[in-house]
Structure 1
Amino acid sequence: MERKNKQTFARLAERFSYGCGDFGCNIIYTAMSAFLLFYYTDYAGVNAAAVGTIMLISRVFDGISDIIMGVIVDRTKSKFGKARPWLLRMCIPFAISGILLFSVPTDWAETPKLVYVFITYNLVSTVIYTAINVPYSALNALMTQDAYERSVLSIFRNLLATAGTLLINTFTLPLVEKFGDNASAWTKTFCVFGVVAVAAFLINFFGTKERVKPVAQENGQVKDVPFKEGVKALFQNKYWIMMTGMLALFFLMYSVNGGATVFYAKDILGSRDLVATINGIFNVVQIAGMFFIAMLVKKLGKRNVFAVGLVLDIVGMLILNFSGGSMTLIVVSSIIRGIGNSCGGATMWAMVSDTIDYGEWKTGYRTEGLVNSACSFGYKIGNGIGSALLGVILEAGGYVGEALVQTPEALFSIKICFVWIPIVVYVIGLVIMKFWNLDKEFDGILAELQARKAGNRK
């Protein structure tokens, strides 16, 4: 009994340690999404349009660096494994780069400031964040091949990612005020967050273990996969193609929908204060739902749980669209969408990990780093397109920020961004899931991989 309790505690500790990685990542990711432009314009005195151009250009560099880092992870050989060494190597540079991001010299002229922004933004986004996030994303597939355990790890990842987001959203502005509410206050604030991020990554590193080894080895050593062969293998992996397309669409949708929330609340529902209600209930329910999704995954499988989540997302969106501003229906919608998103959060990244085993079975190449980096490239492209698409649709609808009353066309453009684009993406997701049979095939694939491994040892 005591041994069983120790094993249970060890499993929980490792799951928590794994989740701490995305807690650390989200400290910078959320800060860049929620506060960086505000800091640049209101505290550092940098032109918003110029910053937007820098961010758009940097997306291209970011996507390329993802692929490069994926190859590096697949070729990493150390006593700690392929992914974990990078968590240890990059955690302190990650914290320092985050501090530099919020340390624009305010007494510099406009052009030197923009040069500083370009260098530090790309240092964080293109180099440091990629060098720690791509290995972290690959870690799930390296820790276990158990399909259920991968889902549980994904649940802990999403729980702690959300906790990291809440930390930044809750404490950033109060800390800035406490440190003097000026440009240097932001630097001090991210010194604090940097220490927290380093601690999270150290827990992630010391609390996890890589156990999965590729079948194909030479003289007992893992063989490097040539880049050309690795990419070719990706496009022979139908399930990887499905998930990459899904991620690109979903992050496009998240970008459009998230950016349109304040417009929908203000101009459709009648009060921008409803943003807090819509997002607050949604996030709380999503976190609570995570604790129950594992049981559903065990019973129904990842594909079916993901599909149920998509249906709930569609229902929740339709209720909100036809709520007429009713607070009761807004709350009901947020609850339903929160449950739907918890289904997706618990399964999506575990499904990506499952495509790695399918790819190894299909092609003979196991490329955790390349699979996850190529997925990352796909969803970053989707995110970038989504950010641009929001502005294009609002502009096409004739939205005017200063107007007290928007035209019917402008209101419809807001609904397209907040409601109808997400619904279309959810429907496409359901269609893709119709062709997802990996849950049924997975046990047989693992058995054959184990048989190959046993044969190689003889």
Structure 2
Amino acid sequence: MAEKRYLKWYNKVGYGSGDIAGNVVYAFLTFFVMIYLSDTIGLNTGIVGTLMAVSKIFDGVSDVIFGSLIDKTKTKMGKARPWMLWPYLGCGVCLFAIFSIPTSWGQTAQYAFFFIFYVMLNAGFYTANNIAYSALTALITKNENERVQIGSLRFVFAFTTSTIIQAVTFGLVEHFGNDAAAWRIVALIYVIIGIISNTVSVLSMKELPEDEIEAKKAVDAPEEKYTLREAVGLLVKNKFYLLILGVYLLTQLYTAFTGIGTYYMTYVLGNKELMGYFASALNIPMIIGLLLVPTIVAKLGGMYKINYSGYALATIARILVIVAAYMGSVPMMLAFTAIASLGMCPLQGDLNAVIASASDYTYLTTGKRIDGTMYSCTSLGVKIGGGLGTAISGWLLAAAGFIEGGVATQPDSVLTMLNVMYLWLPAIFCGLVTFLLTKLNVEKANAKLLEPKN
């Protein structure tokens, strides 16, 4: 008997388009905030990195809190949709503020201004929005293939948005005057795009009734009540949650260090316009692959093998990027970058479905539904991994002797460090992700738990 379908095509596209809004924030910050702060505002990369690292203290607490709040929310819009809709307005305000640091202020005030809005964005508004958005995967459909489909569509929109932002941002800044005011204008444009796309995405979906989501429960089962501490305990006891969190951290560290490409293209290759070409090599194969992931997963009957074998290919390709770089061949670097991205696309496409399966694992082993709390790994991984990656980048650049203020050339020590950060570290992260994925067979674990009931 065919598995019941819950979504129309416009629901799937609407859900996927929500990551336009997410990447307006994420891609813009990841790839451009550090170079904006160092080369336009003139702030020290090491101090900025420290502020970013300190902000993660707040992030670690807020993720589980918002996940728990979503689980306990009951409104006409559902559990997650209100949390996706309203906090994004705060995301827009904070993103604009971060790229609007007053140039007339002293540096201490500028650091404080940046830190306040960076914490509000990451630990508050972005957390609420992103966890809610991810949790919707389990709340709008119970069909495993549909979960993979909307996860793939989500990342198609995500990587398309990221590609465009990486390709056009420098050009837009130069068009508007290549100064602090230009960055404000570009930030405002992105904020408007984000608010519109987020609103459209929320309105295009409808959550399933709770009784249908929890159809496997006994009809007369009591309402689930648990404290934040109990929710954390349920997460920690789920080994697959911990594995997924590790994967998220490493993939976001990978993104953060490939994000240092803004510096690598400018100071090592000597042409910042190459950023658009490398962004295309990173993202276009990913977009194409993501469109094929649902079909491949359906034919293979699972996500486990395709995920770890794809990342094994990505690891080999990233090693070959290093070889090509030391040969001085930009075309070969682009080619192997594209192959690596193609290897990564299965996991990107089905990761939300893997998390949904991990949430099912918690339900099957404990009888409790914690979908919102479970999806805290998405926001926690993105913010901790991406934030620490950007912070560590700042520390390493400062330690290497990076000169702020947009100078034409950097010391050899900085160029060497950029090679380590942009070439070597991403390859290492890919290898570590491959290892974790060999342990992440949650589908098999769930099947074993269901066997006695069948």
TM-score range, shorter chain: 0.7 to 0.9
Amino acid at match of 2:379: S
- The answer to whether structure 1 residue 25 and structure 2 residue 22 are counterparts is yes
**Greater Rg over alpha carbons, structure:** 1
- Partner in structure 1 of residue 111 of structure 2: 114
Q: Name stretches of at least 5 consecutive residues in structure 1 with no aligned partner.
A: 1-6, 452-458
- Partner in structure 1 of residue 282 of structure 2: 282
Deviations 1:220-264 (A, max 9, x none): 874333222211111221211221122223323333444378549
Give the CA deviation at 1:272: 7.1
- The answer to whether structure 1 residue 330 and structure 2 residue 312 are counterparts is no
Aligned equivalents of 1:193 and 1:420: distance in 2?
A: 32
- With over 3 angstroms needed to count, the CA separation of the structure-2 counterparts of 1:244 and 1:339, relative to structure 1, is same
Aligned equivalents of 2:421 and 2:435: distance in 1?
A: 21
Give the CA deviation at 1:423: 4.0
- The answer to whether structure 1 residue 201 and structure 2 residue 198 are counterparts is yes
Aligned equivalents of 1:361 and 1:125: distance in 2?
A: 32
Amino acid at match of 1:129: Y
Aligned equivalents of 2:40 and 2:103: distance in 1?
A: 8
- Partner in structure 1 of residue 144 of structure 2: 147
DSSP-derived class of the 1:107 partner: coil
- Partner in structure 1 of residue 345 of structure 2: 342
DSSP-derived class of the 2:65 partner: helix
Amino acid at match of 1:189: V
- With over 3 angstroms needed to count, the CA separation of the structure-2 counterparts of 1:48 and 1:285, relative to structure 1, is same
Aligned equivalents of 1:137 and 1:25: distance in 2?
A: 11
TM-score (norm 1): 0.82
Amino acid at match of 2:443: D
Q: Name stretches of at least 5 consecutive residues in structure 2 with no aligned partner.
A: 404-408
Aligned ranges for residues 391-410 of structure 1 at < 5 Å?
Answer: none
Question: Do the aligned residues in 2 keep the contact of 1:279 with 1:334 (CA within 8 Å)?
Answer: no
Aligned ranges for residues 3-402 of structure 1 at < 5 Å?
Answer: 11-44=8-41, 46=43, 48-211=45-208, 213-214=213-214, 222-259=223-260, 263=264, 276-300=276-300, 301-323=302-324, 324-326=327-329, 329-387=332-390, 389-390=392-393
Question: Do the aligned residues in 1 keep the contact of 2:59 with 2:384 (CA within 8 Å)?
Answer: no
Aligned equivalents of 1:48 and 1:405: distance in 2?
A: 17
Question: Do the aligned residues in 2 keep the contact of 1:249 with 1:379 (CA within 8 Å)?
Answer: no
Question: Do the aligned residues in 1 keep the contact of 2:122 with 2:383 (CA within 8 Å)?
Answer: no
Aligned equivalents of 1:18 and 1:362: distance in 2?
A: 29
Q: Could you say which structure has the greater relative contact order, defined with CA pairs below 8 angstroms and 6 or more residues apart?
A: 2
Aligned equivalents of 2:222 and 2:156: distance in 1?
A: 36
DSSP-derived class of the 1:250 partner: helix
DSSP-derived class of the 1:252 partner: helix
Question: Do the aligned residues in 2 keep the contact of 1:316 with 1:337 (CA within 8 Å)?
Answer: yes
Give the CA deviation at 1:150: 1.3
- With over 3 angstroms needed to count, the CA separation of the structure-2 counterparts of 1:114 and 1:295, relative to structure 1, is same
- With over 3 angstroms needed to count, the CA separation of the structure-2 counterparts of 1:119 and 1:282, relative to structure 1, is closer
RMSD: 3.5
Which deviates the most, 33-42 or 226-235?
A: 33-42
Aligned equivalents of 1:387 and 1:436: distance in 2?
A: 27
Aligned equivalents of 1:292 and 1:331: distance in 2?
A: 22
Aligned equivalents of 1:256 and 1:308: distance in 2?
A: 23
Deviations 1:23-46 (A, max 9, x none): 101111222222333444455555
Aligned equivalents of 1:85 and 1:226: distance in 2?
A: 22
Give the CA deviation at 1:391: 6.3
Question: Do the aligned residues in 2 keep the contact of 1:140 with 1:150 (CA within 8 Å)?
Answer: yes
